[in-house]
């Protein structure tokens, strides 16, 4: 779920830039838990990417993202994966007053 733009009020929403489209990249990383800490087993690897298109409305916008199941690179019981997201702005709706691009909130939810 993304609150695209400045969600203070409608005047400020349209005064600032908002996302029109973006590319979302999801990276996975193999993590190994040790006695006192966890450590990355490898560099993050791109799992998937997708284009997101945004409506120019002051409403929460939801996107369903399906992440491919990772391929374990290590055989260990104390082994897990972390996922990292990277949002790359590709196009904006121009603000009427300010030249900054606002995102009020990004919320994620995980399902098994």
Within a domain: residue 32?
Answer: yes
Q: What is the mean pLDDT of residues 35-44?
A: 78
For residue 35, what pLDDT is reported? 72
DSSP 20-87: EEEEEEEEEEEEEE-SS-EEESS--EEEEEEEEE--SSSSEE-----PPPP--SS--TTEEEEEEEEE
Q: What is the mean pLDDT of residues 40-53?
A: 88
User: What is the tens place of the pLDDT at every residue in 48-80?
Assistant: 999 999 999 999 999 988 887 766 555 555 567
Within a domain: residue 66?
Answer: yes
Within a domain: residue 38?
Answer: yes
For residue 70, what pLDDT is reported? 65
For residue 87, what pLDDT is reported? 96
Q: What is the mean pLDDT of residues 25-29?
A: 89
User: What is the tens place of the pLDDT at every residue in 77-111?
Assistant: 556 778 889 999 999 999 999 999 999 999 988 76
Tally of structural domains, the chain: 1
Tokens of 10: 């409608």
Within a domain: residue 102?
Answer: yes
For residue 71, what pLDDT is reported? 60
- Cα–Cα distance, 64 to 91 (Å, whole number): 20
Within a domain: residue 111?
Answer: no
Residue 2, Cβ density class (10 Å: 0-12 exposed, 13-18 middle, ≥19 buried):
buried
CA angle centred on 82, ends 74 and 45, rounded to 5°? 70
Q: Which residues of 9-46 are buried (b: 16+ CB within 10 A; e: fewer)?
A: eeebbbbbbbbbebebebbbbbbeeeeeeeeebeebee
Query: Domain range holding 12?
Result: 2-106
Tokens of 78: 């104390």
For residue 83, what pLDDT is reported? 84
pTM of the full predicted structure? Answer: 0.79
């Amino acid at each position: 779920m993304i609150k695209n733009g400045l969600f203070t009020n409608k005047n400020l929403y349209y005064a600032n830039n908002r996302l029109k489209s973006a590319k979302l990249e999801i990276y996975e990383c193999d993590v190994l838990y040790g006695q006192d800490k966890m450590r990355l087993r490898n560099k993050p690897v791109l799992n998937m990417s997708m284009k997101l298109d945004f409506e120019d409305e002051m409403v929460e916008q939801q996107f369903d993202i399906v992440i491919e199941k990772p391929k374990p690179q290590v055989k260990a019981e104390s082994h897990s994966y972390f996922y990292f997201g990277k949002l790359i702005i590709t196009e904006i709706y121009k603000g009427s007053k300010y030249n900054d691009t606002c995102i009020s909130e990004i919320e994620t939810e995980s399902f098994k």
